[in-house]
Amino acid sequence: MEIPSEATIKVEPDIVPEESDVLKCFATAAECGVEDEEVPNTVASINSTAFLRSVPSRRPPGRVVAVCTQQMSKNQRSIEPEERQAIYNLLKSFNSLGTFSNEMVKTLNIRNLLLNLLGETAITVKPYEYPEPLQRNASIILERLDIDIAAEAELEESKVSPTPDSVHKRRRKTKIQSPTSELSRLSMEDSHLQHVMRGIVIIGGSRRTYLLDRDHRPGPRDCKIAGNNGLVVGDWWPLRICALRDGAHGAIQAGIAGSSQTGAYSIVVSDHYSGLDKDLGDTLFYSGSNSHSNEDPKTPHVSFATKAMRASCAHRQPVRVIRSGKAEGKFAPRKGLRYDGLYSIEAEAIEKNAKGGAYVRFTLVRCPGQLEIDMSRPNRREKEAYDLLKEIA
């Protein structure tokens, strides 16, 4: 498989990157410092291949990465050449699979493996870091995966006690039709819910899943664009996949979306780092990945996402801030997610968590000249649509 070479560009606000953008380029073997070897390209062959040659028995792909991570963290060392080759081959195999499916992702444990490589899983108590080219490849695959497969999404709802106007209202259940494809499409009588869920397919069951409708036009907006990207302060969504559809935030789960080279494009303010983050409205204190788990008092954990925030700070590139209903503080929306404008990353500091471990915390300041944060969103109709969405069986 021919892999395109790297091209470096500078992303200007609200300008769509060209196809040669580094974000679309899978890092070559040479960039990763490994040999370009033949790799398995089916789920069965990937699952039965001994990628790490020093391990005599075959292990699932996720176990190979977990072993590498544990050794790097425990011994506080860099990745070894054999590990680097094994992980490059794994990622190259994943990249050759084409369209991802839920079954494929679960069988190979792809999401957890990628998050591990990106430094987004709290499986160690000491920091570890994979080389940037490998992380870039993992990020590219994760972006594809989020677009391709159903997102097992939870509605974002504030922990604040409900007000009278947000009390659950009984309505007729939304009809879910079954088209010729295996996906069920929303057919709703509530016009506002139709609007906020446009282009989204919902699959019923004990746990609802959502994904982008490939046949819907216009298609999803590219999230990898700096600036407002066509959004207006106060734009609101019930689910993260809706924010992804509109180009607000390019990750289904991660709080930071972006590249370690071009910077972060957006962040979601939630309760993930409760007790470490602080929201003052026009000023945010926002923590890097694994801030709670690190126990090393001197060295913070630096993930791919944290590198993206550092790049935005260095390039003076503002990021989109989306607040979640799960966030703490008076500036969080009651339900769902709300776009609150552009913030510049002014500084970073090394702080200490409850375990005495070091973590990176960024200071973000809201850019001047924007509309005020729209505390009226979600409005009454949006709250009703949100509550109706919770009723869908």
Angle between helix 132-148 and helix 110-118 axes, rounded to 10 deg: 140
Residue position matching structure tokens 């962040």:
267
Mean pLDDT of 314-328: 93
Residue 347 CB-density burial (10 A; 0-12 exposed, 13-18 middle, 19+ buried): exposed
- Find the Cα–Cα–Cα–Cα dihedral 238, 244, 250, 253, rounded to 10°: 40
pTM: 0.78
> What pLDDT is recorded for position 234?
97
Instruction: Say if residue 37 is exposed, middle or buried (CB neighbours under 10 Å; 0-12, 13-18, 19+).
Output: exposed
What's the angle, vertex CA 152, arms to CA 221 and CA 308, rounded to 5? Answer: 50
How do residues 98-111 score in pLDDT, each as one tens digit? 888 888 888 898 99
159-168, 175-184, 308-317, range with the lowest pLDDT: 175-184
Q: Report the C-alpha gap between 137 and 25 in whole angstroms.
A: 8
Handedness of CA 300, 283, 264, 141 (dihedral sign): positive
Q: In this predicted model, which residue has the larger pLDDT, 283 or 155?
A: 283
190-230, pLDDT tens digit by residue?
677 888 888 888 776 666 778 888 788 888 899 999 999 99
Burial of 164 (0-12, 13-18, 19+ CB in 10 A): exposed
Q: What pLDDT is attached to residue 14?
A: 43
Whether residue 203 contacts residue 153, with contact meaning beta carbons closer than 8 Å, is answered with no
- Asked if 43 and 29 touch (Cβ cutoff 8 Å), the reply is no
| Distances 152 to 7, 149, 239 between C-alpha atoms, Å | 34, 9, 10
Residue range 67-84: mean pLDDT, rounded = 90
Residue type at 392 in one-letter notation: I
Provide the token pair at 256: 């930071």
| Helix, strand, coil share of the chain (percent; to 5) | 30, 15, 55
In this prediction, residue 238 carries a pLDDT of 93
Report the range of poorest mean pLDDT among 10-19, 54-63, 332-341.
10-19
Please tell me the distance from the alpha carbon of residue 104 to that of residue 215, in angstroms, as a whole number. 22
The DSSP letter of residue 261 is T
